Amino acid sequence: MASGYAGKNSIGFFSLDTFCLLVKLHFSGYSLMQMVRKNNPLVTKSMLDEAVDAILKGVDALFRQFKGEVDKRFDKVESEINFVKTDVRDIKADLSNTPSRKEFNELKTKVDRYHPQV
């Protein structure tokens, strides 16, 4: 398999323009084999395998990059949601009419001290 360099404007062995052309041809109903036969009838199976491998590596690199970006955004959103949850919990506690367990026990101790049960 030929070695290639994936530069800033390339995907695997192809430039971005070539890759976009291949994707457009695929989704317009042409197969890679039909394109190869039309342009060069002497393409071998190994050449076609190399092209397919290069395309798959390029797509895999794009998916990995996309997944990394999504993970970063998700972590940020998750962090912000935790702050909102904390704020909501604190506001609920501030607006609540129900005393906390500690406050209840303190009040109960005072009442029992001045008004003991028989």
In a structure prediction context, what are the per-residue pLDDT tens digits for the chain, which is 118 residues long?
A: 344 444 444 445 556 666 666 666 666 655 656 655 666 556 677 777 888 888 888 888 888 888 888 888 888 889 889 999 999 988 887 887 878 889 899 999 999 988 888 6
State how many domains the chain has: 1
The answer to whether position 27 is within a domain reads yes
Query: What are the residues whose beta carbons fall under 8 Å from the beta carbon of 48, sequence distance 6 or more?
Result: 32, 33, 36
> Which residues make Cβ contacts (< 8 Å) with residue 107, sequence separation at least 6?
99
Quick check: is 3 in a domain? no
The answer to whether residue 2 is domain-embedded is no
The domain of 26 spans 10-114
Residue 1 within any structural domain of the chain: no
pTM: 0.37
Q: For residue 4, is it within any domain?
A: no
Q: Which residue intervals of the chain are DSSP H helices? A: 16-27, 32-39, 45-95, 101-114
In one-letter notation, the amino acid at residue 10 is S
With beta carbons less than 8 A apart as the criterion, state whether 54 and 12 touch. Answer: yes
